[in-house]
Structure 1
């Protein structure tokens, strides 16, 4: 096994750190949308970023102002789940392609699902990565029939908190603690 040169190793480590920073940018977009956390959402974009999402084309801030009322009126909750991402680094610019699945629990209890890819141009400015341009390629969508929720009859299911589009969501709780009573349904 040939030894790796220190310069090559440092370049690889730098690239790995840049890619991790970019993954965190992408996650902030999803978390911000799903938790209705405008600051977190906007922290993924440069102020002059452009967005193309469905019928919307404009700034990231204007996309927020357009999308949140639609989600608020239409869904009880949303999940913007990020799947695999490829990232091409080129100095202070990067291009990323991220597969996603969107799931919305509609107010009428139906479910809306869609999938596609976020294709982003990211820029590093003053040492920070953010999205400069995003286009959303929607590749499929459907509304499957709803199924009964199997956990609805568990008495303390909400003791640790319930999904919320606000800082009341359990994901914001520090420190996170379990408030449920120990129970093993498989044990007799």
Structure 2
């Protein structure tokens, strides 16, 4: 394999490792999985998000209490990403869309960008500095959740904000009865 191709493959692997790191943050927050959330950060990282500025473990405690108190479900969706890698350092800009189903049945939506500085240490890419650029937010009209009248809707597992969520099940299996709507 020529050197240019190998360099491109190495760059793609680094980029994917960074994308996986950023995804662990979002999934860890939405599933209230502290270990997964913290695995996105180096121990000496700093995060600036809204009124919070501090270490990742303190961020998790603050944000999980905020989300637990205010919402029954949250989705931290990652969108467009730009990742600039320079050796063992990288900078990423990630557009995000946050959606929360509030306890009062309203829906909160917000968008912005995560600006991250990451470092590869001991072969692992993790965040060392995150700044959250909140650019807009609003409330979305509430509608009933779809398909609520299907008797076996949660036979494969019900959405949960912990390790009982079906996304943790291995292997994932279907327990629902075959049915093709007419």
Number of aligned residue pairs: 182
Aligned to 2:130: 134
Partner Cα separation in structure 2 for residue 21 and residue 148 of structure 1: 38
Aligned to 2:141: 145
1:160 equivalent to 2:156? Answer yes
Q: Detail structure 1 runs of 4+ shifted over 4 Å in the superposition.
A: none
Secondary structure of residue in 2 paired with 1:157: coil
Pairing partner for 2:55 from 44, 53, 59 = 59
Aligned to 2:174: 178
How far residue 162 of structure 1 moved from its aligned partner, in angstroms, is 1.1
Partner Cα separation in structure 2 for residue 158 and residue 108 of structure 1: 23
Aligned to 2:96: 100
Larger Rg: 1
How far residue 63 of structure 1 moved from its aligned partner, in angstroms, is 0.6
Q: TM-score, normalised by structure 1?
A: 0.95
How far residue 150 of structure 1 moved from its aligned partner, in angstroms, is 2.5
Partner Cα separation in structure 2 for residue 134 and residue 68 of structure 1: 17
Pairing partner for 1:21 from 13, 17, 21 = 17
Deviations 1:6-47 (A, max 9, x none): 111111110000000000000100010000000000000000
How far residue 158 of structure 1 moved from its aligned partner, in angstroms, is 1.0
Gap regions ≥5 residues in structure 1: none
Secondary structure of residue in 1 paired with 2:25: helix
Partner Cα separation in structure 2 for residue 150 and residue 39 of structure 1: 32
Q: TM-score, normalised by structure 2?
A: 0.98
How far residue 65 of structure 1 moved from its aligned partner, in angstroms, is 1.1
1:39 equivalent to 2:46? Answer no
Partner Cα separation in structure 1 for residue 49 and residue 165 of structure 2: 26
Pairing partner for 1:76 from 58, 65, 72 = 72
- Give the superposed CA RMSD: 0.9
How far residue 169 of structure 1 moved from its aligned partner, in angstroms, is 0.3
Secondary structure of residue in 2 paired with 1:104: strand
Partner Cα separation in structure 2 for residue 22 and residue 16 of structure 1: 10
